[in-house]
Chain A
């Protein structure tokens, strides 16, 4: 053993001796607390610990915290003095609470989400994300750690203002449920905005992209601030007019919708941080399915809950809004899913479903543009059909919208068919580009825009040319022109031929795609090598025979070069 090695071993012995001596001198109850704290700390997400340590020492947090503290104190004094002497006999809580809300909304809806965005963006920018990627932390743990740390900061800001809010409550004029609702609304909005900010952080690379995404995040945060503010003010001033049960249902519905959407965003953010060779798609597809299920279920439940009489006709707005949302959602999501890389590493293929039933049901959740197209089309058809059935139920119950059901059905069918054709267009464009250049999934958004534009402009331009640029009326030649066709369908002035043509084309193309790509759509599962399986079992703590003892000092190792 070399002198240097001996010195290191001595040092370790000194460390151990020193540790033992310090442990022996510590009282037993303190040792217990210390052990308990260590065990608790070991169970926490390392990102949460690191981010919290960083955040609490950062100038931004100290400044915001101090400013919030002083501002709340200042408003308490100024607001109270301004309200004198009425403050003694008339309810003054709303005025004070609006001030506190304004103070609290800035850090909770602006500062914390922006800090979370900066935190993840700097991980990408400064290369520390690479270092994190090769640790035992999964991308989802990285994201959830950032989210938890931001939530903790939010809680600290909330705690700062808690005495002031309690003081405002004593001034009368706002009841406790309203106050609780306000706080839930603020915290939930803050959390959702943090997730949105985190979603944007790794979306773009390069200086220009970073500036663009920062601007987008800032715009979203400012818009949200202005959108949530009036709702909060109205809640503070007028209170909650709905019965408690209705309030709870509405709150749960909004939270369920928000949570499921945020889950999709979180899975997408985690996918952006996942290395290329791994399965980035299945998690997102599960999240999308869950979101779709929640959206439809919540809409059905809300319609059923709030339906009281035939006069509840405004409920028809829910399925209509659902249809519009589904169209917009699937135009973006479908384009992204159909632009995925077709390369499947053996690692991904090892995780493919093996049984017949599994292959039948779960193949559409495996990565790749071909499965993506089937997944998007089938889910789109299912959810659009659900939204139409829901509207049908509302119409039957209330008698409202009955005459327009046929028109709605036509629109639903046409939108689904056009989106299916657009997905096929995206698939073709991306396959063409990918054969020549490295293509990111984000190009899918541009591809669907190009496809939709071509479907509209091409027939219009050709017919204009053939018609010597004179005005002309709608004809089945404009069947691919979705903008004009949908408008005609909305006006209930469309030939059945056009509908059959569009739907028939979409169905034929979809089936042709399935037939042509059958082999690729159904990739074969690969067996995992025994050594790898054994190693994974060892990592999971199931196989205790394989591991070699840790030997950080190299005391047991022989010189390998000898």
Chain B
């Protein structure tokens, strides 16, 4: 059984945009799993794909991974079409599905060795690459252990190692943090950050929005197959006229200050709670600074100002409506 797999050198992207979806549609009968989704991810960036279950995240990721065909539209990885040039895409792509995809009766080394061979890595290069992956994912101590006995976190690391074994330029990670304990999540975040720092372009989906907010350069929010918003969290907040919550502690005349604020633009939903005046502020940080200066000039004895923008979770909840197909 002689194989004809040509050993392929790892390819590092020479394209500024590594992932691009153009008007992507995928229909399953009457269900529109992916409906006119377009976005792009630049080289070395981490893109978070957020959406409720059944939103179309996995379907679009599978299309990008050349495992499914779109009903309409195009998707490109490193400038190559996933429809017309799937082989070229596959050499550049590491895919980690939401299921582990492991084998019985093999240990971690054998598992990674098999995929390294399947990607055409040969000789000492393969051994070195295997060792590097085991070291990077922190599974070196587990090399001889059977996969069956690994914890979920270790299996997840191993699967990330498998996706990295051929040194791809683009990584697609479908729910990599699902079911992981906090330490494993922090480790995953570290690994993703490190890979992005090395120039890998990463598309990652997750339900744990706080994780995504910390590791992603930009996010896309998808619901019912439609991409509702895309960009950095701040950009989406700005686009959506996201409110910033401001809380003032005023030593006296809190009611009067509330009336003063109510007359100003950018301020709404004022609540007076003893010495505290809470409100929602629509505007830039510079507008906020102007407002504070005006209040102090107006002679209100402000002891404390607290401001916090809404989290990715708040953005997600505002953008989506919780509909399921």
- Picked from B11, B83, B197, the residue with its CB within 8 Å of the CB of A547 is B11
Please state if B8 and A559 are interface contacts (CB–CB under 8 Å).
no
A50 to B124, CA, bound (A): 19
Please state if B132 and A277 are interface contacts (CB–CB under 8 Å).
no
Q: A45-B1, A53-B110, A134-B67 in contact; A553/B132 too (CB < 8 A)?
A: yes
Q: A44-B1, A554-B198, A560-B199 in contact; A541/B123 too (CB < 8 A)?
A: no
Q: A5-B194, A532-B80 in contact; A46/B117 too (CB < 8 A)?
A: yes
Residue among A38, A42, A276, A560 having the largest count of chain B Cβ atoms under 10 Å: A560
- Picked from B119, B128, B197, the residue with its CB within 8 Å of the CB of A136 is B119
Interface check A24, CB cutoff 8 A:
no
Contact residues in A for B43 (Cβ distance below 8 Å): 560
A136 to B3, CA, bound (A): 11
Nearest CB on B from A290, distance (A): 20
Interface check A148, CB cutoff 8 A:
yes
How many residue-residue contacts, CB under 8 A, span A and B?
Answer: 185
Contact flags B120-138 to A (C-beta < 8 A → 1, else 0):
1011101111011001100
Please state if B132 and A552 are interface contacts (CB–CB under 8 Å).
yes
Contact flags A428-462 to B (C-beta < 8 A → 1, else 0):
00000000011000000000000000000000000
Mostly helix, strand, loop or mixed at chain B's interface? Answer: loop
Please state if A347 and B84 are interface contacts (CB–CB under 8 Å).
yes
Q: A15-B131, A135-B115 in contact; A53/B11 too (CB < 8 A)?
A: no
Contact flags B189-212 to A (C-beta < 8 A → 1, else 0):
010001001110000000000000
Interface check B257, CB cutoff 8 A:
no
Q: Which of B98-106, B225-233, B285-293 contacts A (4 or more CB under 8 A)?
A: B98-106
Mostly helix, strand, loop or mixed at chain A's interface? Answer: helix
- Which residues of chain A from 126 to 148 have a CB within 8 Å of any chain B CB? 126-128, 130-137, 141, 144-145, 148
Closest to B78 in A: A535
Please state if B29 and A133 are interface contacts (CB–CB under 8 Å).
no
Please state if B84 and A16 are interface contacts (CB–CB under 8 Å).
no
A559 to B97, CA, bound (A): 28
Please state if B2 and A4 are interface contacts (CB–CB under 8 Å).
no
Q: Which of B86-94, B258-266, B297-305, B315-323 contacts A (4 or more CB under 8 A)?
A: B86-94
Number of A interface residues in the complex (CB < 8 A): 68
Q: A58-B105, A131-B97, A133-B67 in contact; A547/B9 too (CB < 8 A)?
A: yes
Interface size class of B (residues with CB under 8 A): 35 or more
Q: A532-B88, A536-B88 in contact; A57/B99 too (CB < 8 A)?
A: no
Closest to B127 in A: A19
Q: A49-B114, A535-B88, A560-B44 in contact; A551/B103 too (CB < 8 A)?
A: no
A48 to B114, CA, bound (A): 10
Contact flags B23-64 to A (C-beta < 8 A → 1, else 0):
000001100000000000011110000000000000000100
A240 to B202, CA, bound (A): 67
Contact residues in A for B45 (Cβ distance below 8 Å): 561
A493 to B307, CA, bound (A): 99
Closest to B92 in A: A535
Please state if B162 and A345 are interface contacts (CB–CB under 8 Å).
no
Interface check B255, CB cutoff 8 A:
no
Please state if B118 and A44 are interface contacts (CB–CB under 8 Å).
no
A197 to B44, CA, bound (A): 46
Please state if B69 and A134 are interface contacts (CB–CB under 8 Å).
no
Closest to A48 in B: B1
Nearest CB on B from A162, distance (A): 22
Q: A4-B194, A136-B120, A144-B1 in contact; A128/B103 too (CB < 8 A)?
A: yes
Residue among A130, A552, A553, A554 having the largest count of chain B Cβ atoms under 10 Å: A552
- Picked from B88, B122, B123, B167, the residue with its CB within 8 Å of the CB of A550 is B167
Contact residues in A for B104 (Cβ distance below 8 Å): 54, 58
Interface check B283, CB cutoff 8 A:
no
Q: A39-B123, A550-B167, A559-B197 in contact; A131/B103 too (CB < 8 A)?
A: no
Nearest CB on B from A101, distance (A): 28
Interface check A531, CB cutoff 8 A:
yes
- Picked from A19, A134, A148, A346, the residue with its CB within 8 Å of the CB of B95 is A134
Interface check A523, CB cutoff 8 A:
no
Contact flags A1-29 to B (C-beta < 8 A → 1, else 0):
01011001001100110010000000000
Interface check A540, CB cutoff 8 A:
yes
A-B contacts besides A11-B135, A136-B6, A559-B44, 13 pairs, CB < 8 Å? A45-B1, A127-B99, A130-B67, A131-B101, A136-B91, A141-B3, A346-B83, A438-B29, A532-B85, A532-B88, A535-B85, A549-B9, A551-B167
Listed from nearest, the 9 A-B pairs whose CB atoms lie closest are: A560-B44, A554-B198, A46-B117, A135-B118, A148-B1, A550-B10, A42-B122, A50-B114, A45-B1
A-B contact pairs, 22 of them (CB 8 A): A4-B190, A8-B132, A39-B123, A42-B122, A43-B3, A44-B1, A49-B117, A53-B110, A57-B106, A134-B65, A134-B90, A135-B115, A275-B69, A277-B84, A347-B83, A437-B29, A535-B88, A539-B8, A539-B87, A553-B198, A557-B199, A560-B42
